[in-house]
Amino acid sequence: MRSIFDIPQDKITVAPSLLAADFGKLNEEIARIENAGADLLHLDIMDGHFVPNITMGPMLVKSIRPHTKLFFDAHLMIEEPLRYAGEFVKAGAELITFHIETEKDPAYTIAELRKLGCAVGVSIKPKTPVETVLPYLDSIDLVLVMSVEPGFGGQSFMPEVLDKCRIIRREINQKKLKLHIEIDGGIDEHTVHAAAEAGANMMVAGTAVFRHKEGAETAIQRLHAARPGEIF
């Protein structure tokens, strides 16, 4: 299994969200964003319980895995991540990110996910205090800061979450940790600059990439062009 640290930490990278693709021609859509310069593919997994939407399961992930070399970033917005994480890893997911709000013992969940051989991420919703994730920074590979309420694509960016990115980045720098900060929700060629300046280095963008009026390549180039803040 590939390492998530093959993906650079010191520049802006782009993870298009498959949720915004045309599901009638998924392989074509994935090839389009891969050829356009995407760094990884973000898979929004929703169960209709933790969030009010249902999306894709392991069978879909398995069906697309042979058709792309992109790193698979699986964001489990589900109530029982450990129950299903193994199936997603078998299907081809290389990073499993779970929500801290779903787990009473995040350290146990992280340890169990490590046994699967995948990279491990922890996500926090906009209203969840950043302090809930700080104790686990030295045992994970990625923090995903949600900049919208999870559940549906196309929502507006919530700038108030940027302080979370700043705090997490400060902790990473002070402790010299090897860790990605990913941000998801309302990221486009305009909001990406504030996110980058706040310390996020990995940008999830769905509608802004798959449905950009000038094409995916232009969209990804403009996201890549954001300048990381001095906080890096």
Would you list the domain boundaries of the chain? 4-224
CB 224 within 8 A of CB 40: no
Segment (H or E) for 3: none
Query: Which of the following is catalytic: 39, 73, 141, 184?
Result: 184
pLDDT for res 125:
96
Orientation of helix 81-91 relative to helix 106-114, angle to 10°: 20
Nearest-angstrom CA–CA distance, 51 and 228: 31
pLDDT for res 149:
86
* Count of CB atoms situated within 10 Å of the CB of 49: 12
Nearest-angstrom CA–CA distance, 7 and 89: 19
Using alpha carbons only, how large is the chain's radius of gyration in Å?
Answer: 16
Distances (CA, A) of 174 to 133, 138, 145, 170, 231: 16, 12, 19, 6, 11
| Active-site residue, 44 included | yes
pLDDT digit string (tens) for the chain, length 232 residues: 789 999 999 899 999 999 999 999 999 999 999 999 999 999 999 988 788 788 899 999 999 999 999 999 999 999 999 999 999 999 999 999 999 999 999 999 999 999 999 999 999 999 999 999 999 999 999 999 999 987 666 668 999 999 999 999 999 999 999 999 999 999 999 999 999 999 999 999 999 999 999 999 999 999 999 987 755 5
Query: Which of the following is catalytic: 39, 44, 73, 141?
Result: 44
How far from the centroid of its chain's Cα atoms is residue 182's Cα? Answer: 5
Nearest-angstrom CA–CA distance, 183 and 151: 15
Name 71's bridge partners: 40
| Active-site residue, 10 included | no
Half-sphere exposure of residue 55: CA atoms within 13 angstroms, side-chain side: 26
pLDDT for res 50:
82
Beta strands in the chain (DSSP E): 13-16, 40-46, 71-77, 95-99, 119-124, 142-146, 180-184, 202-205
Orientation of helix 216-224 relative to helix 26-35, angle to 10°: 40
How far from the centroid of its chain's Cα atoms is residue 129's Cα? Answer: 19
pLDDT for res 156:
83
What is the CATH T-level fold of the domain 4-224, as seen in this structure? Answer: TIM Barrel (3.20.20)
Please state whether the predicted TM-score (pTM) of the whole model is above 0.75: yes
